Amino acid sequence: MTQISNVTATSNYYASGKLPGYMTGILLLLSLVISWGFFTFFRPADPEYTVNLAVLIVVAVIVFGLIQYVASRVVEGPRKAVDRTVTLLVTLAFVVAMIPLLSLLYTVVTLGAARFDLDFFTLSMRNVVGAGGGAAHAMMGTVIMTLLAAVISVPVGLLTSIYLVEYGDGKRLARSITFFVDVMTGIPSIVAGLFAYSLFSLILGPGTRVGIAGAAALSVLMIPIVVRSSEEMLRLVPNELREASYALGVPKWLTIVKVVLPTALAGITTGVMLSIARVMGETAPLLIAAGFTNDFNFNPFSDRMQSLPNFVYYSYVAQGSVPEAYLDRAWAGALALILIVMVLNLLARLITNVFAPKYGR
C-alpha cells in the first residue's frame, strides 16, 4: 500500500520540480516565528521597550519574501522565483492600499458616532460656543448649492454630449470641445472657486460671497464629468435604432429625444449621480466662493452659505473653547458626508448593473 502511494507521488510529472501548495503557508508561519524571535531575543536593553505589532509584521513579510525567493530558486529555478516575488509584491500593493481605506472608515464611523444624533440633523450652529449644535444649516446649504449646480450642469453637459455624438462627428469644433472638456476635468477645484469668486466680484462688487457663486464653481467642476459620462453612454446606443427611426420619417431632434435619450437614460442617470457625489464633497471652491456661516440661509442669491464639507473643515481648523466638541462635530459631519457620497455611489452602480448594456470580459 505504501509502495503504491510512493510511486504515484514521484511519477507525477506536473508536480515535480515545484514547491507544493502548502509550502506558502508553512513559509509564512516560519517567517512570522523568525520575526517574533528576532524581536524577542534581540530587543534593546530598555525594559520599557515593547514590540510594535506593525513593525513585527513588516519584518515578517520581508523575511517571507526572502525565504520564498531562495526556496523557489533552489527548487523551481530563478524565473519562477522572480515570478513568485512579483506576485507577492503585487498582492502587497493591494493590501497596503487597503490599510488607509480601512483605517479611515473605522475612525470616521467610531469617532463620528459620538455626535451622530438628532440634534446634529436639526440644529444650526447659531449661538453655539461649546458642545451641542448641529449641521442642519450646512446640509441645507450643500443641498441647495449642489442642486443649483446640477440644474446648471446637467442641461449644458447633456446638450454638449448630444452635440458631440449626434451632430459633431469629426468636426473641428467637436474635437476641440472633447479636448478641452478633458482638460477641464483637471482644473484644480480651488481654481474653480477663484474663478467663481472673481466673476461674482466683478458683477456684484468685491468681496461678494453667495451661494450661487458656490454653485457656479461646482458647475465648472461638474460639467466635464457629465459630458464625459453621457457622451460615452450616447455612443453605446446602437445606430440601428437611429436608422430605424429615420426610416419611419421621424425628424432628427425627435429621434434623439424619443429614441436615443431613453435608451441611454440609465447610463446618463448614473453619470449624473456620480458627478453629484463628486461635487458634494468639494470643499475648496465653496470655501472661496460661498464663504461660511453658522446660520441657516435659504437664499443662494444673498449672503454666505455654509456647506457640509466646509462645516467639517471649520470645525477642525477653528476649534473653539471646547476643542473636543468641535472635533466631535467634525467627525460626525465627515460620517454624514461619507454616508451620503457612498449611498449615491452605490445607487449609481446599482442603476448601471441593472440597466446598462453588458460587455465582454
Partner 1 sequence: MAQSAESLPGAPKARQRPADRIFAGSSRGAGILILATLAAVSAFLLIEGFPALTTPPEEISILEEQSFIVYVTPLVFGTLWAAALALLMAFPISIGIALFISHYAPRKIAVGLGYAVDLLAAVPSVVYGLWGGVILAPGIRPLYMWLEENLGFIPLFAGPTSGTGRTILTAAIVLAVMVLPIITAVSREVFLQTPRLYEEAALALGATRWEMIRSVVLPVGRGGIISAAMLGLGRALGETLAVAMVLSATGIITVNLISSTNPSTIAANVALSFPEASGLNVNVLIASGLILFAITLVVNSIARWVINLRKDFSGAN
Residue 168, interface with partner 1 (CB under 8 A)? yes
What is the size of the binding site for partner 1 (CB under 8 A)?
A: 106
45 near partner 1, rule: CB under 8 A: no
| Residue 182 found at the interface with partner 1 (CB under 8 A) | yes
Side chain identity, residue 91: T
Applying CB under 8 A, does 51 fall inside the site for partner 1?
no
Is position 350 an interface residue for partner 1 (rule: CB under 8 A)?
no
Q: Is 132 left (phi over 0), alpha (psi -120 to 50) or beta?
A: left
Q: Is 244 in the site for partner 1 (CB under 8 A)?
A: no
Question: Does 19 interact with partner 1 (rule: CB under 8 A)?
Answer: no
Mind giving me the DSSP string for 140-171? HHHHHHHHHHHHHHHHHHHHHHHIIIII-TT-
Give the torsion through C-alpha atoms of 160, 161, 163, 166, to 10 deg. -170
In the region spanning residues 202 to 241, those forming contacts with partner 1, defined by CB under 8 A, are 202, 206-207, 220, 223-224, 227, 235, 239
> CA–CA separation, 53 vs 36, rounded Å?
10
For residue 39, the minimal CB distance to partner 1 (Å) is 14
CB 153 within 8 A of CB 222: yes
Q: Is 331 in the site for partner 1 (CB under 8 A)?
A: yes
Phi (first) and psi of residue 171, to 5 degrees:
-75, 155
Out of 36, 67, 73, 80, which residue is the one contacting partner 1 (CB under 8 A)?
80
243 touches partner 1 by CB under 8 A: yes
- Could you give the angle at the alpha carbon of 295 between the alpha carbons of 313 and 335, nearest 5°? 40
CA distance linking residue 253 with residue 161, whole number of Å: 14
Residues in the chain: 361
Max Cα-Cα span within the chain: 96
Residue from the set 6, 16, 122, 185 that interacts with partner 1 by CB under 8 A: 185
Of 6 and 52, CB closest to partner 1: 52
Site for partner 1 in 249-288 (CB under 8 A): 251-254, 256-257, 277-278, 280-284, 287-288
Name which of residues 97 to 156 contact partner 1 (CB under 8 A).
97-98, 100-101, 103-104, 107-108, 155-156
How buried is residue 24: exposed, middle or buried, by Cβ count under 10 Å (0-12/13-18/19+)? middle
CB of 207 to partner 1, least distance (A): 7
Selected binder of partner 1 within 86, 129, 151, 350 (CB under 8 A): 86
Nearer to partner 1, 70 or 350 (CB): 350
Round to the nearest angstrom and report the end-to-end CA distance of the chain.
47
Cβ of residue 32: shortest distance to partner 1, in angstroms?
A: 21
